[in-house]
């Protein structure tokens, strides 16, 4: 039965593809006769990161291409050892939106999942599956994970998980989860103090041989630009991640009211490991900044703003 619906698939897939641009969106489920609408990027910019995540999860869930002959369920069925009462998997993050829906489709679980994998719009990519859940050696649930690209500095993971169990009578029950994690906005106090008029830059490494000495920037335009750069960094994405070895090489920015005065804030850009940015204000440690594996890019931008031509590429990061 699944293979007999090819005539309607272009309509379904085209409707789903419209909704994946990453702006805040709101629309009815695909296949319900409604057309998706997209708000302007200006409206999206006014939303908090969490609001963006909620809107994006709704968009992703509506992008699910309903298998032919499927009916929507009002809640999780009990088939498959109550497997559909929980998502098939979730990102490890406190900043997570999970938007779920349930369907019953004709066919066996792996058949339905294979159809779904073949018919999701092209922006989705398959990251895992079919994953299998078993009890006493017998499989009872199968799932696929599909992802979309992150939205820089706002939404750091976006995905769709489809979990399937046999419902009997040649049918399959599905749980579909749209999951989006967001990067929280920085608090007002997590910023370089306005009294800063000088910034000292220093490269540090396990071996100081050949490194340039510290440089202090007092040009008002450059000081403002360096301050704005650090204040504009997002919070480092939450959750565990694998990182290369940290080798101790860093670019340190010390913000002062004047050259030689006590530090008002310090930003330490890691040039190896996860390449995050450590940040302190008034000696108090603030949440990590930046993004994984872009510390060297951050450092290169800082040096460009400061007008320095230091060669960080020679450091062993």
**The three-state (H, E, C) secondary structure of 14-49, written as one string:** HHHHCCCCCCCEECCCCCCCCCCEECCHHHHHCCCH
pLDDT of residue 313: 65
CB 174 within 8 A of CB 72: no
pLDDT of residue 12: 32
Whose CA is closest to 172, among 98, 115, 126?
115
Is the pLDDT assigned to residue 10 strictly greater than 50? no
CB 179 within 8 A of CB 98: yes
H helices present in 201-264, as ranges: 220-231
pLDDT of residue 209: 64
Is the pLDDT assigned to residue 239 strictly greater than 80? no
pLDDT class for 208, splitting at 50, 70, 90? Answer: low
Summarize pLDDT for 176-204 with one digit per residue, the tens.
999 999 888 787 788 999 999 999 999 99
pLDDT of residue 2: 39
- Percentage, residues of the chain above pLDDT 90: 52
Is the pLDDT assigned to residue 100 strictly greater than 60? yes
Summarize pLDDT for 145-159 with one digit per residue, the tens.
999 998 877 898 999
pLDDT of residue 237: 79
From residue 254, alpha-carbon distances to 132, 211, 295 in Å are 52, 18, 17
Mean pLDDT of the chain: 82
Whose CA is closest to 30, among 69, 59, 1?
59
pLDDT class for 6, splitting at 50, 70, 90? Answer: very low
pLDDT of residue 188: 76
Summarize pLDDT for 34-78 with one digit per residue, the tens.
333 334 455 666 888 899 999 999 999 999 999 999 999 999 998
Least confident residue range of 14-28, 49-63, 96-110: 14-28
Is the pLDDT assigned to residue 19 strictly greater than 60? no
Summarize pLDDT for 285-317 with one digit per residue, the tens.
999 998 888 899 999 999 999 999 998 865 655
């Amino acid at each position: 039965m699944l293979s007999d619906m090819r005539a309607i698939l272009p309509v379904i897939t085209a409707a789903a593809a419209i909704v994946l641009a990453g702006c805040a969106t709101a629309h009815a489920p695909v296949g319900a006769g409604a057309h998706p609408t997209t708000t302007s990027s200006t409206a999206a910019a006014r939303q908090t990161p969490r609001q963006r995540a909620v809107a994006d999860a709704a968009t992703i869930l509506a992008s699910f291409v309903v298998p032919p002959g499927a009916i929507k369920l009002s809640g999780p069925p009990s088939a498959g050892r109550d497997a559909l009462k929980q998502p098939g998997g979730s990102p490890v993050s406190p900043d997570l939106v999970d938007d779920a829906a349930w369907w019953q489709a004709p066919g066996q679980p792996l058949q339905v999942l294979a159809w779904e994998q073949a018919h999701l719009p092209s922006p989705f990519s398959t990251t895992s599956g079919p994953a299998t859940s078993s009890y006493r050696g017998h499989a009872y649930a199968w799932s696929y994970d599909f992802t979309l690209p992150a939205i820089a500095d706002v939404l750091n993971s976006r995905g769709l998980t489809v979990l399937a169990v046999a419902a009997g009578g040649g049918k399959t029950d599905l749980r579909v989860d749209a999951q989006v994690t967001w990067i929280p906005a920085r608090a007002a106090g997590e910023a370089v103090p306005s009294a800063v008029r000088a910034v000292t830059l220093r490269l540090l490494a396990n071996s100081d041989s050949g490194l340039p000495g510290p440089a202090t920037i007092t040009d008002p335009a450059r000081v403002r630009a360096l301050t704005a750069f650090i204040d504009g960094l997002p919070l480092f994405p939450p959750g565990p991640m694998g990182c290369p070895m940290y080798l101790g090489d860093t670019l340190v920015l010390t913000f002062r009211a004047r050259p030689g005065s006590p530090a008002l804030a310090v930003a330490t850009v890691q040039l190896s490991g996860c390449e995050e940015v450590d940040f302190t204000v008034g000696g108090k440690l603030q949440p990590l900044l930046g993004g994984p594996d872009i510390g060297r890019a951050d450092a290169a931008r800082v040096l460009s703003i400061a007008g320095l031509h230091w060669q960080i590429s020679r450091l062993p990061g």
